[in-house]
Amino acid sequence: MSDAAESGGLTLGSGGPGIDEEYPLQAEGLRKAFGGITAVEDASFRVERGSVTGLIGPNGAGKSTTFNLITGMLDPDAGTVTFDGEDITGLEPHAIANRGLVRTFQIARELQDMTVLENMMLAPKGQRGESLWRSVTPGVRREVIDQESELLERVWEVLEFFDIDHLAEEYAGNLSGGQRKLLELSRALLTDPDVLLLDEPFAGVNPSLEKRLLEHIHELREQGYTFLLVEHDMDLIMENCGRVIVLHQGQILTEGAPAEIQANEEVIEAYLGGNV
């Protein structure tokens, strides 16, 4: 079922996403308030297909909340999210993920009492054995078992790529912070997404692996995958992102190419003058 072996041995399933629209992900007037705090206010932006777009802003700017609004973890008070030309506002997270818009969490949420392999095997879409009757009925179960073996092969490839194959049988709860981040990222990739929202994916990951991951992200980008990346390391953002969106106190401060952002007075103000 996979033919994408071209990228450093990593197989992500059914090739790259078809490029039919320039901006697969668009947010329009998003707003979310928690009690008195307005975490996101009238945020409109779009993410270009095949780009690595950075989403930056001081702590508490509303970046993670924006992710939650996009992926259905939170319902916006106002505004819409459009994905591949369809309105996905208010859909359940699983429905959004199945359309190919998948996120990782800022604080890694590994499934502690499951092994790394179990964590990874959970992710792929379209598993026949997720139907109860198929999993238990003699005869039919054969198909499930066969698919499990295929999935396991794919999982091993991803594990090897991310250099966590030696942890395969370890319980996820025993991993270090950086290893958890890697597990989350590789698990998200196994869902075969078109657009990945990564919330500080490199926090705690060692520099050489960070470099490898970034290279890999660029490879995937060239295949047509799209990334929206939250990151506090400015150099990393400037070097790796084609576009940068700046959030400040819940509002979009500006949007543009890295060089423009770096020179922007307001951005410098927000970072230096704010309470960071």
Partner 1 sequence: MRDDVVARIPGGDTGAIVAVLLVIYAAYVLAGVGLGFSLRGQLNTVATLTFFIGVFAMLSLALNLHWGYTGLFNIGIVGFMAVGIYVMALVSKPLYEAGGASQVGGLGLPIVVGMLAGMAAAALLGLVVALPALRLRADYLAIVTIAMSEIVRFSFLSGDFQQFQLFGERVGFGGGSGLILDYTDPIEAFFSVVGLWDAYLGVVDAFGVLIPTNPKPIVDGLVYGALLLGFVAAYFWLLKRTGESPFGRVLKAIREDEDVANSLGKNTNRFKIKAFMLGCALMGLAGVLWFMRSGAVTPNTFRPRITFFIWIALIIGGAGSNTGSVLGGAVFAALLYQGPRTLKNLIDAVLPSTNAPSGFGPAVAPLFSTLDPAPLLFYTLDSVRQLQLVFMGLVLIWLMHNRPEGMLGHRKETAAGIPLTAQRAQKRQAADGGGGDDE
Ligand X SMILES: Nc1ncnc2c1ncn2[C@@H]1O[C@H](COP(=O)(O)OP(=O)(O)OP(=O)(O)O)[C@@H](O)[C@H]1O
Footprint of ligand X (CB under 6 A): 34, 37, 39, 57, 59-65, 106
| Residue 269, helix vs strand vs coil | helix
User: Among 103, 104, 113, 106, which Cα is nearest to 175's?
Assistant: 113
Stretch of residues binding Mg ion (CB under 5 A), selected from 62-70, 130-138, 158-166, 203-211? 62-70
Q: CB–CB of 223/237 below 8 Å?
A: no
Q: Which long-range contacts (CB under 8 A, 24 or more apart) does 260-269 make?
A: 261/56, 262/238
Query: Which residue from 16, 60, 93, 256 is in contact with partner 1, where contact means CB under 8 A?
Result: 93
Residue type, 111: L
Query: How near is the Cβ of 62 to Mg ion at its closest, in Å?
Result: 8
- Is residue 269 part of the contact set for partner 1 (CB under 8 A)? no
- Is residue 98 part of the contact set for partner 1 (CB under 8 A)? yes
Query: How near is the Cβ of 157 to partner 1 at its closest, in Å?
Result: 10
The one of Mg ion, partner 1, ligand X, none whose footprint includes residue 113, by CB under 5 to 8 A per kind, is partner 1
Site string for Mg ion, 220-259 (x = CB under 5 A): ----------------------------------------
| Range list of β-strands (E), the chain | 25-34, 37-47, 52-56, 78-83, 86-87, 101-103, 195-199, 226-230, 243-248, 251-256
Give buried/exposed letters for 50-86 (b at 16+ CB in 10 A, else e). Answer: bbbbbbbbbebbbbbbbbbbbbbebebeebebbbbee
Largest CA distance in the chain: 67
- Is residue 86 part of the contact set for partner 1 (CB under 8 A)? no
- Is residue 164 part of the contact set for partner 1 (CB under 8 A)? no
Query: In sequence order, what are the beta bridge partners of 10?
Result: 7
Site string for Mg ion, 105-124 (x = CB under 5 A): -x------------------
- CA-based Rg of the chain, rounded to a whole angstrom? 19
Residues binding partner 1: what is the number (CB under 8 A)?
A: 46
169 Cβ partners below 8 Å, 6+ apart? 115, 116, 117
Query: Which residue from 2, 51, 82, 127 is in contact with partner 1, where contact means CB under 8 A?
Result: 127
Query: Which residue from 64, 104, 119, 179 is in contact with Mg ion, where contact means CB under 5 A?
Result: 64
Residue type, 249: Q
| Binding interface with partner 1 (CB under 8 A) | 71, 73, 92-95, 97-98, 102-103, 105, 109, 111-115, 117-118, 121-123, 125, 127-132, 135-136, 141-142, 144-146, 148-149, 152, 156, 168-169, 171, 187-188, 191
